[in-house]
């Protein structure tokens, strides 16, 4: 059985990008693999949440995980900070992670641009913490969205470097995984190519959003004055709306609006209304499950404790073996 590991940062409700890029595959993979799915709360500290916000957002992601169909009896669902062995492996990997390669990482360069007042060491070493998360369970496959591709490449570098330095064949080199297809990137409603909550709340639709909120956000999505000649390529914001329609509407609906676009007869208002309706139909069952789970702290606590116990067992074994390989032997 192959080992699958993946995580989601605890920054509140999951959005459609998280679902399509990652969670949907977690749900599919949990049946036939040995899966570890976790809430990356150490990672979320890079943006300095208050203790209350940190706690609330961890609970929110756990609720969303279960509402989306992750089964705590099939996959190990846990909270990253419940497994301090991850922090030890992070420390050990950092000794062989070099400033140049960390600084060249696209996500780090992006953070320098977007949060220049808070470029902390946690951001710089974000890829080593991610590598620790993955290789602590000796993972083979990591279901993630397109934006995580480079982090996976760095994980392979750190894993193979460890093997080379110590002359062992200990860590497998894990791959980003999407059932043989290209990794997914769901676009934002603000014209950007990636749906994300961090830069613009209104660019992302959360699975927990009410029908009213979804309609409002979709109707506000960026568009233009419309095509002036038949069969023109679509500008990015328009392409985004078509991509979302491709993900959430039927093929017939997509083709209908695509033909209207090609004939310069498109009315974006009609298209957005249809898209909002289809997203609402898609997300409503999730939202209803979330509402019920949110009331059940006893169950959530039980899931988190059970996950922590299983994840720690696997992590502690790796750390014991890694310490031995490195030469931390007891006197």
- How far apart are the C-alpha atoms of 18 and 9, rounded to whole Å? 10
Minimum distance, C-beta of residue 324 to ligand TYM, in the bound complex (Å): 25
Number of Cβ within 10 Å of residue 296's Cβ equals 13
Please answer whether residues 261 and 234 qualify as being in contact, where contact means their C-beta atoms are separated by less than 8 angstroms. Answer: yes
Q: Please identify, among the stretches 189-197, 220-228, 237-245, 319-327, the one whose residues bind ligand TYM according to the rule CB under 6 A.
A: 189-197
Which range of residues in 89-97, 181-189, 249-257, 316-324 is near ligand TYM by CB under 6 A? 181-189
Spatial CB neighbours of 117, under 8 Å, sequence gap ≥ 6 = none
Least gap, CB of 258 to ligand TYM (angstroms): 21
Q: Minimum distance from CB of 80 to ligand TYM (Å)?
A: 7
In the stretch 233-272, what mask flags binding to ligand TYM with x, by CB under 6 A? Answer: ----------------------------------------
Residue 10's closest CA among 69, 90, 78?
78
Instruction: Find the shortest distance in angstroms from Cβ 167 to ligand TYM.
Output: 27
Annotated catalytic residue within 111, 141, 217, 272? 111
Instruction: Tell which one of 57, 148, 203, 314 touches ligand TYM (CB under 6 A).
Output: 148
Smallest separation, CB 129 to ligand TYM (Å): 7
Q: Which of 4, 144, 218, 293 binds ligand TYM (CB under 6 A)?
A: 144
Is 111 a known active-site residue? yes
Nearer to ligand TYM, 72 or 143 (CB): 143
CA distances from 197 to 2, 64, 187, 250, 317 (A): 32, 16, 12, 26, 36
- Does residue 287 interact with ligand TYM by CB under 6 A? no
List alpha helices for the chain, DSSP H: 16-18, 24-29, 41-44, 51-67, 85-94, 99-103, 106-114, 121-124, 126-135, 149-166, 211-219, 236-248, 251-262, 268-293, 297-326
Please give the C-alpha separations between residue 220 and each of 172, 200, 213, in angstroms, as whole numbers: 46, 13, 11
Q: Which residues from 97-136 bind ligand TYM, rule CB under 6 A?
A: 130, 133-134
Helical H segments across 167-296, by residue range: 211-219, 236-248, 251-262, 268-293
The residues that touch ligand TYM, with contacts defined as CB under 6 A, are: 5-9, 17-18, 20-22, 40, 43, 130, 133-134, 142, 144-145, 147-148, 184-186, 194-196
Active-site positions read: 111, 194, 197
């Amino acid at each position: 059985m192959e080992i699958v590991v993946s995580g989601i940062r605890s920054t509140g409700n999951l959005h459609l990008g998280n679902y399509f890029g990652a969670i949907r595959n977690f749900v599919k993979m949990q049946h036939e693999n040995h899966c570890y799915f976790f809430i990356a709360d150490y990672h979320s500290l890079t943006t300095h949440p208050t203790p209350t916000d940190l706690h609330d957002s961890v609970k929110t992601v756990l609720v969303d995980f279960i509402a989306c169909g992750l089964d705590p009896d099939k996959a190990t669902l846990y909270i990253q900070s419940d497994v301090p062995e991850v922090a030890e492996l992070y420390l050990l990997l950092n000794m062989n992670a070099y400033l140049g390669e960390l600084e060249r990482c696209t996500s780090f360069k992006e953070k320098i641009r977007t949060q220049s007042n808070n470029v902390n060491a946690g951001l710089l070493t974000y890829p080593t913490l991610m590598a620790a998360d993955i290789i602590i369970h000796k993972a083979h496959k990591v279901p993630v969205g397109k934006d995580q591709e480079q982090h996976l490449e760095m994980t392979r570098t750190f894993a193979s470097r460890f093997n080379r330095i110590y002359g062992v064949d200990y860590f497998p080199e894990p791959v980003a995984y999407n059932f043989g297809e290209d990794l997914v990137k769901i676009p934002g409603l603000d014209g950007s190519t990636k749906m994300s909550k961090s830069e613009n709340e209104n660019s992302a639709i959360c699975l927990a959003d009410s029908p009213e909120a979804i309609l409002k956000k979709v109707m506000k999505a960026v568009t233009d004055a419309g095509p002036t000649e038949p069969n023109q390529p679509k500008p990015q914001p328009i392409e985004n709306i078509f991509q979302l329609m491709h993900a959430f509407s039927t093929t017939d609906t997509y083709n209908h609006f695509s033909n209207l676009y090609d004939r310069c007869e498109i009315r974006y208002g009609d298209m957005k209304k249809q898209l909002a309706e289809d997203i609402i139909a898609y997300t409503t069952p999730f939202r209803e499950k979330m509402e019920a789970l949110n009331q059940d702290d006893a169950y959530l606590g039980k899931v988190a404790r059970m996950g922590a116990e299983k994840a720690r067992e696997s992590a502690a074994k790796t750390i014991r073996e890694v310490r031995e390989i490195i030469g931390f032997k007891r006197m």
